With several copies, the nearest count.
Chain A
Amino acid sequence: MQTEKHIVSAFDRDLEGVQATLMKMGGLVEAAILDAALALETRDAELAGRVRAGDAAIDALEEQVQTECARLIALRGPTASDLRTVLSVMRCAANLERCGDYAKNLAKRSLVLNGMMPIEGAPGSIRRMARAVVMLLKDALDAYIARDSVKAQDVRQRDREIDQMYNGLFREFLTHMLEDPRTITPAMHLHFIAKNIERVGDHATGIAEQVIYLVEGRIPDEERPKASGVAALTEASQTAPRSES
């Protein structure tokens, strides 16, 4: 990455502007996920409603970032690291937007769950997982800001932990369902919620990969260091299918 200024400073200005928007988006998404998880735990319909409504703002920001980036490419014709920056901003925004969607979905499902039988401990577990994944997202964004590829690698590693948490929850909810058929419907929702939170982790990894792309000019080879490939699958075949779902 270049640290000097562009000769024409307008480009630097534009680039900084769009990255600031991206960071704002990141903040909103993090808050949305945490809020949604809180709403689920506290059965706070009003908070959940706010999270659902807030997604529009995230969507709008994403659209703004995409338009700005397209404009930047059209007007400035960036190359090399500049181009990578713009493209990575676009991809990160797409990642964050999707995370926003998950938060909204979480909020929606938490409203649905409010009307159902609560499952002991589950919302707490969800919230813990949400907190962990938000930490991951935050770190990915920090790594982005700092163009810190080491930290980005770390994020990619830590996504495995999220995967493990998800596997744990998968089993937990399955147990509940088997134990008490009345919990089947709410557990289904919780299943989907957990899956979505796991996906947020994947998107954080996606952002971390953009950092590496930015710094090194190439997307890292394997999509992400996997827990253990086929072995994990056979194990998971009994529990939860891994990741890229």
Chain B
Amino acid sequence: MSSETSKMSAQGVQVYYGANHALKDVNVEILDKTVTAFIGPSGCGKSTFLRCLNRMNDTVASARVLGTILLEGEDIYDKRVDPVTLRAKVGMVFQKPNPFPKSIYENVAYGPRIHGLTRNKAELDEVVEQSLRKAALWNEVKDRLDAPGTGLSGGQQQRLCIARAIATSPEVLLMDEPCSALDPIATAQVEELIDELRSQFSVVIVTHSMQQAARVSQRTAFFHLGNLVEYGETGQIFTNPRDPRTESYITGRIG
């Protein structure tokens, strides 16, 4: 189903928030063209690790990241790496749909604009259309690209955010509980979209819902108390986990 080449590779990642050791020696290979899910109880460090992958943790003053994270072999925490460029390559979608209060078009065009990815309006139009198509939103919005993005329904907004992230042609898409603010039907649509996106991107998704992880991911990583307890093929994690903590969590014996 998914090619097994590694896209990102985290080696011995540790994160401290001040004195709080939030993440302890995490080693994960994010595979190319694969949906990887991070599950685990609240506060176990899923989001923290996710935000390490595109250095969103840089914006938290107290956060300190140790270890190496490679994107296609290059250390993203190298001094010469500009986090801004990195984030264009490792896009992010957030828990609550957060379109800019601008037109749909402008929402999608923003990334290409600030990164100077297109040379003219025609190219930009093309990028916007392609991104919206990939996000399975084009047909719903093509007649009202000038309408404000905030006027869309929750699920559409989230897909717009995905389109926006896609527009900078990232290699990896990070999603932090992208459906937790959506109703079930919108959730299903976004899950469906994630399933489709996997043919083109690596997708990493944090979710509280084990059902969701089971539905959309090919690989699952289980975090517990800042440790990466188990990482493997989703089917195996859910039918026959190796670690008793994973088993306990999956079957609802620990939170």
Q: Are B248 and A4 within 8 A (Cβ)?
A: yes
> Can you list, as one digit per residue, whether each of A52-96 has a CB less than 8 Å from chain B (1) or not (0)?
000000000000000100110011111111111000000000000
* Residue in A2, A6, A75, A82 whose beta carbon sits within 8 Å of that of B235 in the complex: A75
Q: Are A75 and B234 within 8 A (Cβ)?
A: yes
Q: Are A80 and B214 within 8 A (Cβ)?
A: no
A8 touching B195 in the complex, CB below 8 Å, given contacts A79-B238, A79-B250, A79-B251: yes
Within 8 A of A (CB), among B206-255: 210-211, 214-216, 234-235, 238-241, 244, 246-248, 250-255
Q: Chain B interface: which size bin? A: 20 to 34
The 9 closest A-B pairs by CB, nearest first: A7-B188, A217-B240, A75-B214, A74-B238, A82-B251, A74-B239, A71-B235, A4-B253, A80-B250
Chain B residues whose CB sits within 8 angstroms of the CB of A238 once the complex forms: none
Q: What residue of chain A has the Cβ atom nearest to residue B195's Cβ?
A: A10
Q: Are B189 and A7 within 8 A (Cβ)?
A: yes
Chain A residues whose CB sits within 8 angstroms of the CB of B235 once the complex forms: 71, 74-75
Q: Are B192 and A8 within 8 A (Cβ)?
A: yes
Q: Are B253 and A83 within 8 A (Cβ)?
A: no
> Can you list, as one digit per residue, whether each of B175-215 has a CB less than 8 Å from chain A (1) or not (0)?
00000000001001101100100000000000000110011
Q: Are A7 and B238 within 8 A (Cβ)?
A: no
A76 to B246, CA, bound (A): 18
A74 touching B214 in the complex, CB below 8 Å, given contacts A7-B255, A80-B250: yes
- Closest Cβ–Cβ distance, residue A216 to chain B (whole Å): 9
A70 to B240, CA, bound (A): 10
B interface, by DSSP: helix, strand, loop or mixed? helix
A112 to B192, CA, bound (A): 56
Q: Can you give 24 A-B contacts (C-beta < 8 A)?
A: A2-B247, A2-B248, A2-B253, A7-B188, A7-B252, A7-B255, A8-B188, A8-B252, A10-B192, A11-B252, A70-B239, A74-B235, A74-B239, A75-B215, A75-B235, A76-B215, A79-B250, A80-B238, A80-B240, A80-B247, A81-B247, A84-B239, A84-B240, A218-B240
Q: Are A10 and B252 within 8 A (Cβ)?
A: no
A7 to B215, CA, bound (A): 12
- Closest Cβ–Cβ distance, residue A81 to chain B (whole Å): 6
**Considering only CB atoms and an 8 Å cut-off, how many residues of chain A contact the other chain?**
25
A11 to B192, CA, bound (A): 10
- Closest Cβ–Cβ distance, residue A31 to chain B (whole Å): 30
- Closest Cβ–Cβ distance, residue A114 to chain B (whole Å): 44
B interface residue numbers (CB < 8 A to A) = 185, 188-189, 191-192, 195, 210-211, 214-216, 234-235, 238-241, 244, 246-248, 250-255
A228 adjacent to chain B (CB < 8 Å): no
A78 to B254, CA, bound (A): 14
> Can you list, as one digit per residue, whether each of A27-38 has a CB less than 8 Å from chain B (1) or not (0)?
000000000000
- Closest Cβ–Cβ distance, residue A147 to chain B (whole Å): 14
Q: Are B251 and A6 within 8 A (Cβ)?
A: yes
A101 to B247, CA, bound (A): 35
Chain A residues whose CB sits within 8 angstroms of the CB of B247 once the complex forms: 2, 80-81
Chain B residues whose CB sits within 8 angstroms of the CB of A82 once the complex forms: 251
A32 to B189, CA, bound (A): 44
A232 to B126, CA, bound (A): 72
A194 to B235, CA, bound (A): 42
Q: What residue of chain A has the Cβ atom nearest to residue B247's Cβ?
A: A80
Q: Are B238 and A77 within 8 A (Cβ)?
A: no
Q: Are A6 and B252 within 8 A (Cβ)?
A: yes
Chain A residues whose CB sits within 8 angstroms of the CB of B189 once the complex forms: 7
Q: Are B239 and A71 within 8 A (Cβ)?
A: yes
Chain B residues whose CB sits within 8 angstroms of the CB of A71 once the complex forms: 235, 238-239
* Residue in A2, A8, A80, A217 whose beta carbon sits within 8 Å of that of B215 in the complex: A8
Knowing that A11-B252, A75-B215, A79-B210 touch, tell me 5 more A-B residue pairs with CB under 8 angstroms.
A7-B253, A78-B251, A79-B250, A80-B246, A83-B239
A237 adjacent to chain B (CB < 8 Å): no
Q: Are B239 and A8 within 8 A (Cβ)?
A: no
Chain A residues whose CB sits within 8 angstroms of the CB of B188 once the complex forms: 7-8
Q: Which of A10, A74, A83 has most B Cβ within 10 Å?
A: A74
* Residue in A6, A70, A75 whose beta carbon sits within 8 Å of that of B253 in the complex: A6
Q: What residue of chain A has the Cβ atom nearest to residue B188's Cβ?
A: A7
Chain B residues whose CB sits within 8 angstroms of the CB of A9 once the complex forms: 192, 195
A78 to B250, CA, bound (A): 9
